[in-house]
Amino acid sequence: MIEAREIRHFHLFCGLGGGAAGFNRGNARVGNMQARFRCIGGIDVDAGAIADFQRLTGTPGTVMDLFDRDQYRTFHGAEPPPGWREMTPADIHAAAGNERPHIVFLSAPCKGFSGLLSQTRSSTPKYQALNRLTLRGMWLTLEAFADDPPELIIFENVPRIANRGRPLLDQIVAMLEHYGYAVAETTHDCGEIGGLAQSRKRFLLVARHKEKVPPFLYEPIKRPLRSVGEVLGEMPLPGDELAGPMHRVPRLQWKTWVRLAFVEAGSDWRSLNKLAVGNGYLRDYLIVPDGRNNGYLGVNDWGDTAGTIAGASRPGNGNFSVADPRFDQSAKWKDGQAYGVRCWDGPTGAITGQKSPGQGAFAVADPRRPGEGFGKYAVTPWGQPSGTVISGSTTGQGAYAVADPRTGWPDSAHGSKLAITAFDESCRTVTGARFGSGALAVADPRPGMSRGKGDNYLTAGHYGVVPWHSPSGAVSAAAGHDNGRWSVADPRLPEPNEKLIAVIRSLDGTWHRPFTTLELAALQSLIDPHEYLELSGLSDSAWRERIGNAVPRDAAEAIAGVMGTTLLLAWSGETFALGSTPIWVRNVAAGISLNQAERQPCQ
């Protein structure tokens, strides 16, 4: 018969509750004992985060500022508001529903330790006060449950805390050891232990109460990282109203969209260094509207569907070509010599029945100029004899033309051939002949290009452009840009800093876009890709900050599983168990498995 054993967990600096939600999903079993995890509370200074915590965990949270007065003044630069007071261990115990937790999970503010903050700023009094909140939170927790200490205490933060926060960590470790805990420090990748589509390196300090928990604590099983597309591919397309406001595409500056479009997938801003820029403009590329020129010379991808087939579906007027990967040559093309041209001084291949240029190498690079060896359209020099006169003696059939030096022009008989009369001179006698027979043309200085009022071509507005703030003329049935005022001076080109949503097809054929807020929540495993999420408030920036600060739910679930197993082993009387995964922090394994006074050194 299965015996259910409840494991209660409590969270300080809980944020929106990603860690707590993951612990609620924890699974552990030893023999006939099955663990059932229950959250008994959470504490955070952000009211919006506590509202989200209650929604995600189903457990009441408490809005509580854990600063002491001096830390508050130093961090905020002002005195606390009226009614503010320093929290006590009793307040922590009340926030846990006056119950005792088996596991306490702390994820203290990490801005002061983060590598995103410069060393200079992290050393300022403001961020040092924030860092000391880590130490104060740990002390309040230990005092709140001093009479019946939690079996396990887990402290999570950014990896850089091991360097920037070393003095604070040493104080925390000494405090934990004073209260009867063995301590180990390590780092882990939330992506690997949670099977996420992100790599998220974190610092983890594990404290095990030596009297209550003798067994080893083993690492969670590591899983391969998933791809981003594996998660996002299960979600609705960005902007789908059914997915809610958290799935809207962020409005970015136009210049940011352009930069994203030219960043190679898998790279970053350094891709932009490869672009040639002249006078502030891209020299080798141009952004044009999608579908411009109606797909002129367009080639369809083999895996895509074709557009509508029209009566004049030719490569030059649309996407009427295909990138065919099946280059399986037919028998006629097998030798690869279609349209082959033989060298003049080399042999030809075997002569076959298919002897047109398109069927093989049936053409030759002839170095002899046309006219050598045959008289097609040839002209016989004046001083040389003509070729034999045959019955089909037209100029197209041989050398039946002569280079006659006796032009005879001008002479009395032909002086007026193709002549042009000056505009200010008299004309010669008018005859019935055509203009090629005499001076029947005139040099007219009036080109007729000076259009005036009433000119039909002028008033029709050919190639006319209508101002943006002016009305258009009546729209006709044959309205075209070249036969009237059917163009407009559109001023709506995005300014570099103008915020908008743009879809630019990048060089790799994809849309480079930012993650939506909902996608970030899915990547943090706060929700499954097909789930709907609604967080407190209406600010994307606030939502994103809470999501970014959250402990990934699936990673917390994996941690809860191994800790639950350790607790069940302790409660069943086992002092040692062989696991299939490495002992968490093997180099200090003795420090967390044996009752000893001194902590083993970290490496």
Q: Is the peptide bond before 220 cis (omega within 30 degrees of 0)?
A: no
- How much is the pLDDT for 504? 87
pLDDT the model gives residue 591 = 36
pLDDT of residue 432: 63
Query: What pLDDT score does 391 carry?
Result: 65
Give every residue of the chain whose pLDDT is below 50, as ranges: 332, 371-373, 585-603
Rounded to 10°, the helix 540-549/47-57 angle is 60
What digits encode the pLDDT tens for the residues 335-364?
556 667 777 777 776 666 555 565 667 677
Please give the model's pTM, rounded to 2 decimal places: 0.68
In this structure, the strands spanning 465-466 and 33-44 are unpaired
Sign of CA dihedral 215, 216, 220, 221: negative
pLDDT in the model for residue 359: 65
88 backbone φψ class: left, alpha, beta (φ>0; ψ -120 to 50): beta
Among the listed residues 40, 35, 52, the one whose alpha carbon sits nearest the alpha carbon of residue 12: 40
Structure tokens at 526: 């706060």
pLDDT for position 205: 92
pLDDT given for residue 176 in this prediction:
96
pLDDT at position 216, please? 73
C-alpha distances out from residue 489 to 131, 352, 468, 472, Å: 58, 63, 6, 12
Q: What are phi and psi of 28, to 5 degrees?
A: -150, 145
The whole-number pLDDT of residue 286 equals 77
Domains, the chain:
3-238+537-593 (3.40.50.150)
Residue 172 phi/psi, 5-degree rounding, is -65, -45
pLDDT at 138: 95
pLDDT of residue 302: 81
Q: What is the pLDDT of residue 478?
A: 78
Contact 331, 354 (CB under 8 A): no
Residue with structure tokens 């009297």? 211
* Per-residue model confidence as pLDDT tens digits over 152-192: 999 999 888 888 889 999 999 999 999 999 998 888 899 99
